[in-house]
Chains A and B, each alone.
Chain A
Amino acid sequence: MLSIRNLQVAIEDKTILRGLNLDVGSGEVHAIMGPNGSGKSTLSHVLAGRDGYQVTAGEVLFDGEDLLALEPEQRAHQGIFLGMQYPVELPGVNNMMFMRESLNAIRRARGEAELDAVEFLQRVREKARLVELDEKLLKRNVNAGFSGGEKKRNEILQMAMLEPRLAILDETDSGLDIDALRIIAGGVNALRSPERSIILITHYQRLLDYVQPDTVHVLVDGRIIRSGDKGLALELEEKGYGWIEQEAAA
């Protein structure tokens, strides 16, 4: 489904990703772990099409198509979803209206019929229950005055509404207490399916106790230096990143 080959990315002439390779198959859950500044968020932003990054080499194929040639909204239409590390507040933009516009924009782009108000309301209520998001927050402006945990739940709610084929969750677990983490993980697990792939970007092994990944990758200094099964995450938790960096350097 997703194939990243020798991806090299710079921000203002500072190289962040230095030849990253990654293959994610349909239905797989991959975790990408790594220390601060290793390039995790850069990877997620480049996949979603955010401005300010120069791709200096390599390619990203999504279903065999050149993903990097697409505008951010076109990537969303193709089924890419980025759960943001820091979801922004949108003053004056109603959460429900926003989600409906978003869902219908994607449906239009795919040649599908838009959901009417009743169908939409049914779906958003059902999905809000999944992430235990208070319906009052649907009536508020997007993320305005939401707590950290509510913002993250609102991200997973959008993921549930948009039913992406590839979801990239950028540190969705950071800043969550244990209850919120459990709810978020429950939401993510409910959305696992053979047609949907998920990339979990995280600092900590904690999230992986709840969402079992098929593969764990270690990203250090812009490259994936090791991949393994869930055991790798436990090992990192115990020993930190130092040993693996040394091994890679050796």
Chain B
Amino acid sequence: MITAEQQRSWAQQLMTAGDAGLPGIGLGWLTQAREAARQAVAELPVLDRKQEAWRYTSIEALIKHRFRPVCDTDNWLVLDINDCLLPNFDSFRLVFTNGQFDPQLSAIKDLPDGLVVGSLRAGLTTDPELLATWFGQTANHTEHVFTALNTALVNDGVFVRVGSQVQLDRPIEVIYLSQTDEDPLSMQARNLVVLDAGAKATLVERFVGFGPSPYFHNNLTEISVGKGASLNHYRVQDESRSAYHLSSLYLSQQAKSRYQGTTLAFGGTWARTDYNATFKQQGAICELNGLYTVGDQQLTDFHLNVQHSVPGCVSREQFKGVLYGKGRAVFDGRILVDKQAQHSDAQLTNDNLMLTRNAEVDTKPQLEIYADDVKCSHGTTVGQLDPQQVFYLRSRGIDETAARKMLCLGFAAEVLDSIEVPVLREAVTRKLSDTLNATVVADG
């Protein structure tokens, strides 16, 4: 059990330690947001089992760590960046090492007209008015203690703006490299992604972690997809096995826009992704896909909150999990269809493949429908590999380990196929294949 006091003092300690050197001190709107967030930290309820959204995801282990906020001197890296890059992947690349933008490792030269890509920190100096327009437009800063903490400590992150009718043929790639030695670090990435009307872009975010110490990556991303615009957004969470990772995404879509998000979650000891999607105007399509693997000492949580608040929008959510060892997963998929949101079309599925008896998933699809002319469905499954399928493959000369692995990869195929960037799809498939080694797929 944790108390409100423990939660507050933990957050307070981080805010006090992280206060020095924050950018944008002279910006009134930012100071105001930070101040409101600080205030909220002191008042927000403790995220214990009584909070439905946190019922199966205890923050106890997280707030037991005394994290130190990253500072300028944490911008170091002993590993070779080339080991972290996708082969032959031509992207506009931003690299953050321990939460700080690293211009040397990044590659954002020769941007086409109408594209702004850079670090948020730099943007606070060069483009404060532009940031002021978008900052906090879709996010709820005081949703809970972690969003408040992120806002109070806005330091660095990505700022992307794709101008009206600009269609990018090269993906934007963001790599968050986290590397610890002795100190448990905390980083609060803050991202702002704006697509103007008719824009088209692909955004790839990759979280890569190394080192023995735990760290806490508290990521908050606001995404606005303008009228008729289209964003493909891929997130590969491959944090270190001792990492705590929280991604809070706030998505807002204008008329006839399209957002396709695919999240792959492999790493972390505690990893949670919250998607909050809101349709602002009719005819928008939102597609969320996810794949997670969890083993011993791992908890992965997805919370989806899709709000059909206007008529005629489409949402598709497909999440699949492969659980092994004593791995734990939590899935909560909520679709809310407001009374005025007629002709909404929503589908949600969550399928879990349990490779061992000791793995656990708590899955909860929720449809709340207040309109009367809609097409909505949801379904979840929790199952094991089918012995008949395993036998079929073995009878064709494929050994048991390979057979089980082939079926696991087959289970994940639909989500992997939703990745439209071949290099990324191959890398992720390889990662999944490596994760599902002989021990993991063995009949438990």
- Please list the residues of chain A having a beta carbon within 8 angstroms of any beta carbon in chain B: 48-51, 71-73, 75-77, 81-82, 84, 87-88, 90-93, 98, 101-103, 105-106, 109, 141, 158, 162
Contacts and interface: CB of A to CB of B under 8 A. Distances in A.
A51 B387 contact: yes
Interface string B250-263: 00000000000000
Contacts of B395: 48-50, 72-73, 75-76, 81-82, 84
B211 interface: no
Contact of A101 (B400, B406, B407, B411): B406
A158 B402 CA distance: 18
A88 B388 contact: yes
13 contacts: A49-B395, A51-B387, A72-B391, A73-B396, A76-B395, A77-B397, A81-B395, A88-B388, A92-B409, A93-B413, A98-B406, A141-B413, A158-B396
Contacts of B393: 90, 98, 102
A136 B413 CA distance: 19
A50 B391 contact: yes
Contacts of B388: 88
B412 interface: yes
B410 interface: yes
User: Which applies to chain B's interface (DSSP): helix, strand, loop or mixed?
Assistant: helix
Contacts of A103: 397
Interface string B263-292: 000000000000000000000000000000
Interface string B379-392: 00000001111011
Given A48-B395, A93-B413, A158-B396, 5 more contacts: A72-B394, A73-B398, A77-B397, A84-B395, A103-B397
Contacts of B402: 101, 105
B411 A105 contact: no
A235 B163 CA distance: 82
A75 B397 CA distance: 8
Interface residues of B, number: 24
B411 A91 contact: yes
B410 A162 contact: no
A141 B414 CA distance: 11
A119 B89 CA distance: 30
B399 interface: yes
Contacts of B413: 91-93, 141
B394 A71 contact: yes
Nearest to B394: A72
Interface in B341-396: 386-389, 391-396
Contacts of A102: 393, 396-398
Nearest to B386: A88
B366 to A, nearest CB: 26
A90 B397 contact: no
Contact of A73 (B386, B400, B406): B400
A72 B387 CA distance: 13
A50 to B, nearest CB: 5
Contacts of B399: 71, 73, 105
B293 to A, nearest CB: 15
A87 B392 contact: yes
User: Most chain-A CB neighbours within 10 Å: which of B388, B397, B403?
Assistant: B397
B410 A90 contact: yes
A140 to B, nearest CB: 12
Contacts of B411: 91-92
Across chains A and B, which 8 residue pairs bring their CB atoms closest together, nearest first? A92-B410, A92-B413, A76-B397, A102-B396, A72-B394, A106-B397, A93-B410, A105-B397
A141 B396 CA distance: 16
Given A92-B409, A92-B411, A93-B406, A101 B389 contact: no
A81 B391 CA distance: 12
A101 B398 contact: yes
A145 B317 CA distance: 23
Residue of A48, A49, A73 contacting most chain B CB atoms (<10 Å): A73
Most A CB atoms within 10 A — which of B395, B402, B403, B411?
Answer: B395
Contact of B397 (A51, A73, A87, A88): A73
B394 A92 contact: no
A106 B414 CA distance: 28
